[in-house]
Amino acid sequence: MKKTLFFLSLVGFLATQASATPEKNRKTKAPKASMEQQLSRYITYPDAMKSTHQAGVVVIQFRVNDANELNNLKVFSKNEELNSTIVKQLVGKKLVGYGDDSEELHTVRLRFQPE
């Protein structure tokens, strides 16, 4: 009798705990395309590199504001014309899925190849 009563109280306790903390279906805001893929849609092969037909890698840093727009954009390359071209192409563009933390600094490498 004591075992049955203990077992029923244990089942009742577990049932109340399970209903008190229901399992949540968490939906993450994972972007459909990676950051690099989204950025590559906005950038064309820079005019500064067309005359030399060079391929290259450029590093950019930026923040994404609450409206998912790029801001505080910095381009790291030795070619100032290339830097300004990339800034003009990207400033104010939107990145889907990355606007949750406007203080986060993103760093991305972009590869350029002649057309």
Domain assignment present for residue 53? The answer is: yes
Domain assignment present for residue 7? The answer is: no
Domain assignment present for residue 30? The answer is: no
pLDDT mean across residues, the chain: 79
Burial class (CB in 10 A: 0-12, 13-18, 19+), 58: buried
Of all residues in the chain, the percent with pLDDT exceeding 90 is: 18
C-alpha distances in angstroms, 10 versus 14, 18, 21? 6, 12, 17
Q: How confident is the model at residue 18 (pLDDT cuts 50, 70, 90)?
A: low
Backbone CA torsion sign across 69, 42, 55, 47: negative
- What CATH number should be reported for the domain holding residue 47? 3.30.2420.10
Q: Whole domain around residue 60: which residue ranges?
A: 35-112
Domain assignment present for residue 87? The answer is: yes
Kindly state the average pLDDT of the residues 34-39: 87
What is this structure's pTM? 0.63
Output the pLDDT for position 44: 83
Domain assignment present for residue 61? The answer is: yes
- Top pLDDT among 46 and 97 is at 97
Output the pLDDT for position 97: 82
Domain assignment present for residue 93? The answer is: yes
Q: How confident is the model at residue 22 (pLDDT cuts 50, 70, 90)?
A: low
Instruction: Give the chain's domain count.
Output: 1
Domain assignment present for residue 69? The answer is: yes
Token look-up 């008190």 returns 20
pLDDT at 21 over 60: no
Domain assignment present for residue 41? The answer is: yes
